[in-house]
Structure 1
């Protein structure tokens, strides 16, 4: 299970970094990693050799303008839903949540 988690984290990190057109070194520096080790550390994160602690993952997510949870979700569709909802206003998030609740309620009703 642990190696699957690392693969998900590494894959999502690489995809998010490339979507922002950042080098590993630049992302690392922007996330607060020392210039001399930024590229190597980010490379290790993306290859799944090491994983950052939650604080560092949060800093990386902040730079990439995505929710930290995106890195940890195994289900691709759910990860995309979380990523897209992050960009919504509070009011829009509340509307989406209300809609999701109506979907859940309708699926519980007998035909």
Structure 2
């Protein structure tokens, strides 16, 4: 009987969802992640697969590259909860002025909750 696959990590689930939202395969995302002169393109799809399955965690520089490729904030991938991750996505879609307003509102909500 084959060994069970590891449970996907939160980062892996978010990465997979973002990749699929772009309509890309693991190989396509992996190719975009590699440096243009990288001779070892055969590791592209397996690398993304390992990240998505939680077998390996990408370093911060790689997370930042992935985020840029997927047009998402890097913080989304490392957020501590799904609610915080979703808030990051929503806020990142706003204009800078609206981001400041959203932050002020969140601060007001937090101060009321502390009382």
- TM-score, with structure 1 as normaliser: 0.83
Which of residues 97, 104, 108 is equivalent to 1:91? Answer: 97
Between stretches 34-43 and 47-56, larger displacement belongs to 34-43
Aligned residues: 106
Which of residues 92, 105, 109 is equivalent to 2:111? Answer: 105
Which of residues 12, 18, 22 is equivalent to 1:20? Answer: 22
String of CA shifts for 1:24-78, please: whole Å, max 9, x gaps.
Answer: 1111111225432111111111111111111011100101111111111231111
List runs of 5+ in structure 1 lacking aligned partners.
none
Q: Is the 8 A contact 1:28 1:60 kept in 2?
A: no
Which of residues 14, 24, 45 is equivalent to 1:39? Answer: 45
- Equivalence for 2:77: 71
List runs of 5+ in structure 2 lacking aligned partners.
1-5
- CA-based RMSD of the aligned residues comes to 2.0
